[in-house]
Amino acid sequence: MVFLSFVSRNIEILSNSFRIYFTNFSRIVIFSAILNIVFFIIRELLAYIISPDTVISNIIVLWLTIFNFVLAYGVIATSTALVMDNRKIDILFCFQRVWYRILTFVLISAIYTGLAVILFGILQLANNSMILIFAGFAYMVALIFIMNYLVSVVEVNILEQYRGINVFKRAISLVKDSWFEAFGFNFLRILAWFGFSFAITLIIILLTTQIFPLINLSARAIDSNIQIELKLVQLVVTILTQPLFYIAGVVWYYQTRLTRENVDIRTILT
């Protein structure tokens, strides 16, 4: 009975997320496009200026990718909250809200980057060492455990009054007594996101191969041109699909606060 209730609740969250996404498609995709295109250009310029094979350049690109992710998450989280409160999406308001919390977003992306760098470092060293392979696996499990506690860290930063390290403390407190519930939601959210991304990728590839023959993997070598085209496809897929991931997080966050603290969305937005 508990399991059925859990599944039903998360299906409702995902269905509401799809509804919000499609009924506000144009504005949400504009937000996603602005940030993803800007950061895509920055990353490509850095890759051109700095050697892409150095550790420092890889860390910088990784941080920019994560920073892009959390900023886009913040903007779309704000727009989602406005939609849930039956208010018009104000582009300036959404970006201002993110800007006022920019330092905490820098901190969040720096911590996430540090955790990812440690994982990549262990995996790089774990070629022929069973101890390091085991250490890498143990760290991955620990990382999943930690990240699940931080499932709502962006929502807390953008929709509450906490700043700095207090954002992490608040996010942990929201999951404190419902870790498995949060994990189950995250699993279903990622599954829905991957499925949606796969469908969009398939549609784009079919369109580009049939209508605009940009990508023909069977007839062309993997050269610099095809790599650029694949990057552009990846960019378009990211722009179109990531908002669903963000929206689902906001809906889950709101439902969690509504259940525990009996707050409404207007209270959250003040």
Q: What is the pLDDT of residues 196-207, one digit of tens each?
A: 999 999 998 887
Q: What is the pLDDT of residues 144-201, one digit of tens each?
A: 888 899 999 999 999 998 999 999 999 999 998 888 889 999 999 999 999 999 999 9
CA dihedral 105, 110, 112, 113 (to 10 degrees): 140
Q: Which residues are CB-neighbours of 50 under 8 A, at least 6 positions away?
A: 56, 57, 60
Provide the b/e sequence for 32-48 (b: ≥16 CB within 10 Å).
bbebbeebbeebeeeee
Q: What is the pLDDT of residues 216-256, one digit of tens each?
A: 544 444 455 566 777 888 999 999 999 999 999 999 999 98
For residue 195, CA distances in Å to 198, 201, 230, 237, 247 come to: 5, 10, 19, 12, 16
Domain limits, the chain? 2-269
Task: Decide: pTM greater than 0.85.
Answer: yes
pLDDT grade for 95, boundaries at 50, 70 and 90: very high
DSSP state, 138?
H
SS3 state of residue 262: coil
C-alpha to C-alpha distance for 221 and 241, rounded to whole angstroms: 28
C-alpha to C-alpha distance for 230 and 32, rounded to whole angstroms: 19
Q: What is the pLDDT of residues 15-65, one digit of tens each?
A: 999 999 999 999 999 999 999 999 999 988 887 787 667 778 888 889 999
Mean pLDDT of 84-107: 93
Q: Is the pLDDT of residue 212 over 90?
A: no
Amino acid making up residue 137: F
